[in-house]
Amino acid sequence: MFAFKKRRRLVLLGVGGTLFLALFTLWQSTIKKNRQIPVGPFHIVGNLYYVGTTNVTSFLLTGPDGHVLIDGAYPETGPMIVESIAKLGYNITDVEVLLNSHAHPDHAGGLAFLQEASGAELWISKGDAELIERGGRGDRSFGPLRYLQFFGFGTFPAARVDHRFEDGDTIRVGSIELTAHVTAGHTPGCTSWSFPIQDVDRELLAVSICSLTLSPFMSLVEPETYPGIRTDFERSFTTLRSLPVDIFLASHTSWFSMQRKLNARDNAENPAEPFVDPNGYINFIDRAEDQFIKELKKQQEDR
């Protein structure tokens, strides 16, 4: 009788495990299909172009001495980014530097492919470099879901990190100049990028925000998801508010209302004008900070 019950448990576990893997595979396939929706690449202003998808951004900065590409999106998005760059009349092999906002699959997944396709050097913040080189494995922001990384959940092709930078460092390719602002919290090395853009006779400062969101399993109280995460978030709000922003960009299109701004260009005298949005930038930070404060209070009360 004992042996029968044991065999029955093993059979049930096997069936349950098989069903879980089947559902997980189907879910992964659906996710991949839905996120492979390209946006026709377009010129934003000056030497700044959009080459990402409907939701996850990728930006191209062009120059006579080589180009800079910010973010690689999902693993399967890499070829789409290459195609978008080509549609604009540029070549992926002229990209000299690859940059990243943070080490999550939807922003770092395509870096390895793009690195190989371009031959570019990959610059990553010290806080996120090891995660990039591990393909996202060991990311504590996934909480208990990190154990699903054994099945590929939350991982991406590991990329070779050529240079590790710190907060405030400047990266240059010819006349292109970007400043790294480590706005940690979402990941330990989450990086927002600022760079000047020339629009005819005026210079504009563009800022692409990394992320200010809390993943569902992030802990801001002891034990923290990683030591200092609460302080990092608080410092990031202050850092971003201190920047004199003209052009508001971010790692997700909805955060800076990209589609609305694209539609507004149809009636704009200067097609760059809808992207000049300092108020939208501050409002986004305010909303993120309000959400952070509410979540911190909730976690403190539940402790």
Reading the block at residue 290, the tokens are 């309000």
Vertex 111, ends 37 and 208: CA angle to 5°? Answer: 75
Q: Residue 33: its pLDDT value, please?
A: 47
Task: Assess whether pLDDT exceeds 70 at residue 22.
Answer: no
pTM for the predicted model, two decimal places: 0.87
Task: Tell me the average pLDDT across 195-213.
Answer: 96
Domain count across the chain = 1
Of the given ranges (40-44, 68-72, 116-120, 147-151), which has the lowest mean pLDDT? Answer: 147-151
The boundaries of the domain holding residue 57 are: 39-302
In a domain, 10, yes or no: no
In a domain, 31, yes or no: no
In a domain, 112, yes or no: yes
In a domain, 182, yes or no: yes
Q: Residue 116: its pLDDT value, please?
A: 98
In a domain, 246, yes or no: yes
Average per-residue pLDDT for the chain = 89
Give tens-digit pLDDT for 78-129: 999 999 999 999 999 999 999 999 999 999 999 999 999 999 999 999 999 9
CATH number at residue 293: 3.60.15.10
DSSP H or E run through 238:
helix 229-241
Vertex 177, ends 175 and 159: CA angle to 5°? Answer: 115
* Strands, sheet with 176-182, edge to edge from the N-terminal-most edge strand: 170-173, 176-182, 191-199, 202-209, 247-250
Alpha carbon distance 38, 45 (integer Å): 20
Give tens-digit pLDDT for 154-187: 789 999 999 999 999 999 999 999 999 999 999 9
Q: Residue 34: its pLDDT value, please?
A: 45
Instruction: Work out the percent of the chain whose per-residue pLDDT is above 90.
Output: 78
In a domain, 25, yes or no: no
Q: Residue 138: its pLDDT value, please?
A: 81
Give tens-digit pLDDT for 273-302: 999 999 999 999 999 999 999 999 999 998
User: 249: Cβ–Cβ under 8 A, 6 or more apart, which residues?
Assistant: 57, 59, 206, 207, 208, 209, 256, 275
In a domain, 89, yes or no: yes
In a domain, 5, yes or no: no
